[in-house]
Structure formats: structure tokens, C-alpha cells
């Protein structure tokens, strides 16, 4: 395990400008389920941006808070052909399993991934939480289905099935961890051949992840995250002043270490929560640089 407390990178990060960046049009957008998702009925509300005019901004800019998602999809954002490494990452926005920060932790992340030669696959998973079900259950069903579809369509979408990662923020970080530790079986009835594919990510990136440990035992990993020696290599970013508590990430990292799962932790003193990858004066907002280097050192960014 390699731990850095404050990482200051001297090279300029050209992939992300100070202004808000947006991905272009996706090459493919695919519905995860032909009808309603497993356990769901008809939509209760219309999917829409729930951001209010006076709601908090990030780095001086507004963000999309997408709510009432009943028809989940994956959208495939491809890098320029001359940059394409064949690697891909399933991107899981956060939002407490209530909404999705669709641009801050979604399309903007796909834009960065494209800049380093990685296909970004944006997961628009079901929110808000469903009454009577675990907070993450519908989202995990969506994530398992999405990874299966990525592998089933790997040739058509130009993806290497051996280099498919997952990246999540906040609740999306919990979802990425849940997928990384619940890939032996689907938690929904088989739909088609996509569900015969492995849904294990090749690697996992968790940025200010939430819900990783039990509320009353900050050093005990949440029961829905059965870490094992088959949990994929993991990269974690967190700050000491994160309101979800740094111990939330440290407890999970400790369990990865105990199971001898390769893990790299980047711990910064300041930054709070919900910064995405919008640049500010705080060093934590440069986390995409060490994340890119981590992917490169592990040979996930090799050219085919």
C-alpha cells in the first residue's frame, strides 16, 4: 500500500481546464432493461434536473442534480481514435442514492477519461432510494447489468474486456465498491447473454467514497462489501476534512490491505466533499494526475 498525505504535482494538467468541461455526444446509449428495472413498477415521477437556482455551486459553477431515474442507461463516450487505448471505465456519479450529479461526477469525468485514451461509460442508475429495499440494491443491479453489457458489446464498442474499470464518487464510490465485491452472482434474474458475462471490474477508483464502513463501527467494513482476495486493485482519494469522515475510507483500505488487495490511497488535508474534478487552489483537485499514473503503471493504458 502506498500512502501520500499531500501530493503536489508540478506538471500542468492539460486535460481539465478551470472552466466546466462537458463530454461530446456519446457514441452509444443503451437502456439497461427492456421494461422496468428489477423490483420496480411504473415510473412515479418524471426524470428531471432538481437543482434549484440558489443551490450550492462547485468551483463557482452549477451542476446537474438529476432525479427520478426509472429508466437507467449507459452512455459510451469514446476518445479520439489516435488516443484510444482500448481501456474503459464505468463511471458512477454520486448523490446519496437520491440524485445523480450527472455532469460534475459524470460527463466531465468521461471527458477527462477520453483525454487519457480511456472510454468513459456513464452509468445513469436508478434513484432515488426505493422504499423497503437496501439503499444501493437497484443501483447495484444496474451496475452489474452495465458491466455485463460492456463485455458483451466489447468488440462493437472497441473495448478490451480485460481492462474495464469502475470509478465512483461519494454514493457512486460505494456503488463502485459494491460492484467490486459482488460480482460472483447477479442479484437479479438472468435477462439475456449479457448476464453470462463477468461483471467483475478490472480495477476500481473511489473518490471521496461514502458508506464504506458501518456507522457505529468506523473501522468495520459495511456488510454489503465482502472484501476478498478477488476484489480488484483499488485507488482511493479522500480528505481529512471530508464530512463523511476519513475513517470511512481508511477502514475500507485497511480491509483491502488485510486481504492483500493492491491499494493506493491519496489522503489530503483539505477539500471537503463533492469537488469532482473541477480545479481549485486545493491540491486534492489534482487527483486525476496520480490516478492516471496509477492506471499507466498497472498497464491498463497500454495501446493495443
| pLDDT higher than threshold 60 for residue 16 | no
Residue 44: the pLDDT is 86
Residue 21 lies in a domain: yes
Cα distance between the two ends of the chain: 29
Residue 122: the pLDDT is 98
pLDDT above 70: percentage of residues in the chain: 92
Q: What's the whole-number mean pLDDT along residues 161-187?
A: 98
Residue 24 lies in a domain: yes
The answer to whether the beta carbons of residues 165 and 119 sit under 8 Å apart is: no
Instruction: Please give the tally of structural domains in the chain.
Output: 1
Nearest to 296 by CA among 118, 44, 167: 118
For 64-109, the pLDDT digits (tens) are: 999 999 999 999 999 999 999 999 999 999 999 999 999 999 999 9
- With bands split at pLDDT 50, 70 and 90, how would you rate the model's confidence at 139? very high
Residue 302 lies in a domain: no
Residue 266 lies in a domain: yes
- With bands split at pLDDT 50, 70 and 90, how would you rate the model's confidence at 1? low
Residue 169 lies in a domain: yes
| pLDDT higher than threshold 60 for residue 31 | yes
Residue 290 lies in a domain: yes
What's the chain's average pLDDT? Answer: 92
Range of the domain at 278: 2-38+45-297
Which cell numbers in the block locate residue 223?
456488510
Which is more confident, 100 or 304?
100
In this prediction the pTM is: 0.91
Residue 303 lies in a domain: no
CATH of the domain at 233: 3.40.50.1820
Question: In degrees rounded to 5, what are phi and psi of residue 220?
Answer: -105, 125
Q: What's the whole-number mean pLDDT along residues 287-298?
A: 98
Spatial separation of the C-alpha atoms in residues 94 and 79, rounded to whole Å: 23
For 219-266, the pLDDT digits (tens) are: 799 999 999 999 999 999 999 999 999 999 999 999 999 999 999 999
- Count of CB atoms situated within 10 Å of the CB of 29: 12
- With bands split at pLDDT 50, 70 and 90, how would you rate the model's confidence at 6? very low
Which is more confident, 36 or 183?
183
Mean pLDDT lowest among 16-20, 56-60, 168-172, 263-267 = 16-20
Residue 183 lies in a domain: yes
The answer to whether the beta carbons of residues 32 and 73 sit under 8 Å apart is: yes
Amino acid at each position: 500500500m502506498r500512502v501520500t498525505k499531500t501530493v503536489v504535482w508540478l506538471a500542468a494538467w492539460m486535460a481539465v481546464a478551470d472552466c466546466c468541461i462537458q463530454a461530446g455526444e456519446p457514441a452509444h446509449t443503451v437502456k439497461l432493461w427492456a421494461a422496468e428495472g428489477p423490483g420496480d413498477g411504473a415510473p412515479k415521477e418524471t426524470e428531471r434536473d432538481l437543482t434549484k437556482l440558489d443551490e450550492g455551486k462547485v468551483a463557482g459553477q452549477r451542476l446537474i442534480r438529476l432525479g427520478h431515474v426509472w429508466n437507467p442507461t449507459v452512455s459510451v463516450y469514446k476518445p479520439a481514435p489516435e488516443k484510444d487505448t482500448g481501456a474503459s471505465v464505468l463511471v458512477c456519479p454520486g448523490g446519496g442514492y437520491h440524485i445523480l450529479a450527472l455532469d460534475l461526477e459524470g460527463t466531465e469525468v468521461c471527458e477527462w477519461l477520453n483525454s487519457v485514451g480511456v472510454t468513459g461509460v456513464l452509468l445513469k442508475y436508478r434513484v432515488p432510494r426505493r422504499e423497503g429495499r437496501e439503499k444501493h440494491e437497484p443501483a447495484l443491479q444496474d451496475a452489474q447489468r452495465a458491466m455485463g453489457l460492456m463485455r458483451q458489446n466489447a468488440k462493437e464498442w472497441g473495448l478490451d474486456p480485460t481492462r474495464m474499470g469502475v470509478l465512483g464518487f461519494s454514493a457512486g464510490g460505494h456503488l463502485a465498491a459494491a460492484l467490486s465485491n459482488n460480482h460472483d452472482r447477479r442479484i437479479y434474474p438472468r435477462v439475456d447473454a449479457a448476464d453470462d458475462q463477468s461483471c467483475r471490474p478490472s480495477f476500481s477508483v473511489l473518490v471521496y467514497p461514502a458508506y464504506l464502513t458501518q456507522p457505529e463501527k468506523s473501522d468495520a467494513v459495511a456488510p454489503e462489501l465482502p472484501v476478498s482476495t478477488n476484489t480488484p486493485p483499488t485507488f482511493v482519494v479522500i480528505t481529512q476534512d471530508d464530512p463523511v469522515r476519513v475513517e470511512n475510507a481508511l477502514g475500507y483500505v485497511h480491509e483491502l490491505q488485510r486481504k492483500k488487495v493492491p491499494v493506493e490511497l491519496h489522503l489530503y488535508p483539505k477539500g471537503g466533499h463533492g469537488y469532482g474534478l473541477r480545479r481549485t487552489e486545493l491540491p486534492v483537485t489534482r487527483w486525476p494526475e496520480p490516478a492516471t499514473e496509477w492506471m499507466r503503471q498497472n498497464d491498463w493504458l497500454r495501446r493495443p
